[in-house]
Structure 1
């Protein structure tokens, strides 16, 4: 299928051929009929992409701050790879469309194949021929409403949420500053609510359009006409509400709002304009400044948008889905008229040229629609689609370890997110003896990005096809934590060697199930991404420390830091705790240094569970204490480790320096160019094992013991006592 994409690094716009998305539970596949270009938000993004790197940095100081934090924690080279990987990727455009349901996922019962729906979301309602849309981000289109009008649903919901934030009352007067697409819809919604409206915009054509839609008067923000209209309609008191629907770097909108609002009036920011509030003006009138967050309650909440959990109507009357349905109802009943706003309808095949015309100013428009192939100009006749259910492949032979000499290891990746793209794939792309065969993701664009950047032969969203490909030797599972155990089992049953990023499992039941699959299939070709034991600096330090005769004490301080708001690590109900996801790294490193698997785990936590102390006891009496803290300074190193035994001390400082104190002192000769945490060496060992049929880099018993110890931390916190670990059944 085709999709509109942009490379944020180069500014390139393209209509790209990408794999069609699969239909996941909790949502539907929708074939697009019309999608709406947001001439404000999208063109701002397109313009930013065309800036120099300095210009991009100036336009996004929030992202610059994150980059500097990453430099402090991970070093310049790793941060550079991460940032460039994100910038030099195709990103999607679009977030408002209407289309036809082509396939219905499990758990969806409110629509059927052939229904016309309006869809929302900058990850789901994209300018693409087919999109997968979760339940709370689509609504059925009312009968008789033209699909091109229904394509306005998301943008209309944004305008509606802004109006709701202003709490308009019958007979009040409002000022709308900025009469672009959102501003025009705000004008119509206010008029429909019994509010008299004054508009302000420097474009005379937009002013005239708003007046035809019901505004009492409109004019240039700097003119006396706007002030005179406000004075006449309010008897000199000022407007009850001001809606900021303008963009740009000028501070004029917020200054005009303060000047024309009444005492204790409300100012609602809907657009993205400069907000240097003049303190005296806002203080003297005690103005109520409010922000409108996108489509309404539910926006940016993964449990609502992705998991389909609705908010009870008694507590949240207007969610983003209810706003979407309400706006479509208003359009269907003629209370809002979007037809006059349509400046141009472009064929989807002409998408790149259309964006360029908008960017260059050749096409002046309030609203532009893309019409997709096969869709009539005036209406869309729903046609039921044929749904093919793929066969499930069960069982597989143990992989043949005696591969042909010189034959490359053909690798498939399930998932191609930030970690895979910055920490794994750069070490595999171009490596002798490795062939990147297929990348499979749930979103079409991420697969296409990985194919372009790393040279995969194929990109797809069809997991069954990859697992059924007998030419694939190794499968890398680099997805969200909640899917690791299931995908690992499927790949093992398919007879593949498996590299799964940590964690291997999130529950004891998942771990037992993985081990049972190994037992059932005889396929034990499994590696978990515990990379730190492969770090060259730590390897050399361990060698310098030498053999150990007595028990050891190990201290590992992990200065993890706080998570960013919205991080999927916060979804503990589905993705497990943060320590469940990361803790295996540190337990594995400790066990490798001590040369054994732990036999018991004792864990304590500070109130609220932010900081953890995990104590591991080993068969020879050695102990390891892992301090996993989130409340430390970001300026302090992330990982420091001390190993003490037999009159010797090994010290590791964040993978940039190591030292051993004993009869002689050894210090790493020079600082490495980058923090090498062992990913490259780990991948080399895995590929070598697959190619030669030799032992996997880490014994299965050790992988299972580390995972069990990580999971035991939760049980230890709950019980307040040490947890004894059962020996691995293998």
Structure 2
């Protein structure tokens, strides 16, 4: 049984991570690290978590033998510090996306994992759920021929006061939800982008978008003349879709990204159209169970620090392209192993959660 400390008891921890742990069968929560002892205490009581630890007690917890791993759900600007401290203490780390806010930070995180031997996993929950696996398999098996074009949207209305609306934490739709579109494109093409263009929009007079853009439209070029485009937004109606055009057909995954959606795949081949609606599963339980299996077997996770860093390179290039209006070129790099069938984990969702 892998024992986790949850670092940061905000919405994503309350809504998704904490309820999922009990579903896995191979993981449990040992501690909640939070700046609000009252709220953390209520969550600990509800989920039967033995310890509540203040941030000034984090290093002592890491130095103990009471935990094996940490889940970090802090603002983006805090990922590197809390991750590196845990890795240096020999604790495995699952950290939310994006991995960090600069390449220097993400590379320092990767180095800390390498030096300590502890695992660093970027929390790409879709790498462990059936809809994404179904889409990847449809492409790999040649059902639509060679993929030549990728298009995606991920947007919704963000609420005023959310820390993701703050520029100081590298807030905005791109690192929060655009990363899903980018990551999907990389895995569909099994390649890394070599050039990016981007254009941002910001609604005048909307207090949510004083520090960040409301939305971003992105074009990426991949090797072999393949193209990808996506739109991400904190000021749109809810949209979460992927369309892949191949040389002989196309596929659509819609819904595609949200953890409370039942993903649906439409594949249009020369022989006809098939539609598959995948079972609703708990995405967080799947990724937690997978990471705990990796820890127990001493097998490095697929979505490691290098996978997170690959998205970081492109995200920062997109930021630069939107800011300058220029095409930003990226150094060609090989794609790594990607999503594979043994990574799939399926657990029915739970209704047991406490939101404060």
- For residues 228 and 284 of structure 2, the distance between their equivalents in structure 1, rounded to whole angstroms, comes to 24
Cα offset, 1:430, TM superposition: 5.0
Q: Which residue of 2 aligns with 1:429?
A: 22
Compared CA separation, residues 658 and 550, structure 1 to 2 (3 A): closer
Aligned equivalent of 1:485, options 72, 77, 80? 80
Compared CA separation, residues 463 and 561, structure 1 to 2 (3 A): same
Cα offset, 1:618, TM superposition: 2.0
TM-score (norm 2): 0.80
Aligned equivalent of 2:153, options 554, 557, 560? 557
Aligned equivalent of 2:35, options 442, 455, 471? 442
Whether 1:663 aligns to 2:263 is no
- Are the aligned partners of 1:685 and 1:697 in contact in 2 as well (CA < 8 Å)? no
- Are the aligned partners of 1:600 and 1:617 in contact in 2 as well (CA < 8 Å)? yes
- Are the aligned partners of 1:429 and 1:455 in contact in 2 as well (CA < 8 Å)? no
**Structure 2 unaligned blocks of 5 or more:** 204-212, 257-262, 337-356
- Are the aligned partners of 1:439 and 1:458 in contact in 2 as well (CA < 8 Å)? yes
- Are the aligned partners of 1:535 and 1:679 in contact in 2 as well (CA < 8 Å)? no
CA distances 1:564-594 after superposition (whole Å, capped 9, x unpaired): 2222222213443332233222211221222
- Are the aligned partners of 1:533 and 1:678 in contact in 2 as well (CA < 8 Å)? no
- Are the aligned partners of 2:158 and 2:235 in contact in 1 as well (CA < 8 Å)? no
SS in 1 for 2:225: coil
Q: Which residue of 1 aligns with 2:138?
A: 544
- For residues 669 and 576 of structure 1, the distance between their equivalents in structure 2, rounded to whole angstroms, comes to 35
Cα offset, 1:556, TM superposition: 0.2
- Are the aligned partners of 2:201 and 2:215 in contact in 1 as well (CA < 8 Å)? yes
Compared CA separation, residues 473 and 464, structure 1 to 2 (3 A): same
Whether 1:532 aligns to 2:137 is no
- Are the aligned partners of 1:503 and 1:582 in contact in 2 as well (CA < 8 Å)? no
Q: Which residue of 2 aligns with 1:302?
A: none
- For residues 522 and 622 of structure 1, the distance between their equivalents in structure 2, rounded to whole angstroms, comes to 39
Question: How many positions carry a matched residue from both structures?
Answer: 316
Cα offset, 1:705, TM superposition: 0.6
- For residues 419 and 429 of structure 1, the distance between their equivalents in structure 2, rounded to whole angstroms, comes to 16
Q: Which residue of 2 aligns with 1:650?
A: 251
Compared CA separation, residues 524 and 586, structure 1 to 2 (3 A): farther
Whether 1:612 aligns to 2:207 is no
Q: Which residue of 1 aligns with 2:346?
A: none
Alignment of 1:303-382 (within 5 A): none
Q: Which residue of 2 aligns with 1:494?
A: 89
Q: Which residue of 2 aligns with 1:704?
A: 309
Cα offset, 1:509, TM superposition: 3.1
Aligned equivalent of 1:453, options 25, 43, 46? 46
Compared CA separation, residues 641 and 601, structure 1 to 2 (3 A): same
SS in 1 for 2:244: strand
CA RMSD of aligned residues (A): 2.5
Q: Which residue of 2 aligns with 1:576?
A: 171
Cα offset, 1:553, TM superposition: 0.6
Q: Which has the higher contact order (CA 8 A, sep 6+)?
A: 2
Cα offset, 1:671, TM superposition: 6.7
TM-score (norm 1): 0.41
Alignment of 1:662-701 (within 5 A): 662-670=269-277, 672=279, 674=280, 676=281, 678-701=283-306
Q: Which residue of 1 aligns with 2:230?
A: 626
SS in 1 for 2:81: helix
**Structure 1 unaligned blocks of 5 or more:** 1-407
- For residues 568 and 596 of structure 1, the distance between their equivalents in structure 2, rounded to whole angstroms, comes to 32
- Are the aligned partners of 1:586 and 1:626 in contact in 2 as well (CA < 8 Å)? yes
SS in 1 for 2:317: helix
User: Which structure: larger Rg?
Assistant: 1
Cα offset, 1:524, TM superposition: 5.9
SS in 2 for 1:620: helix
Cα offset, 1:498, TM superposition: 0.7
SS in 1 for 2:141: coil
Cα offset, 1:607, TM superposition: 5.5
Cα offset, 1:668, TM superposition: 3.7
Alignment of 1:282-321 (within 5 A): none
SS in 1 for 2:52: strand
- For residues 468 and 665 of structure 1, the distance between their equivalents in structure 2, rounded to whole angstroms, comes to 59
- For residues 727 and 415 of structure 1, the distance between their equivalents in structure 2, rounded to whole angstroms, comes to 36
Compared CA separation, residues 708 and 545, structure 1 to 2 (3 A): closer
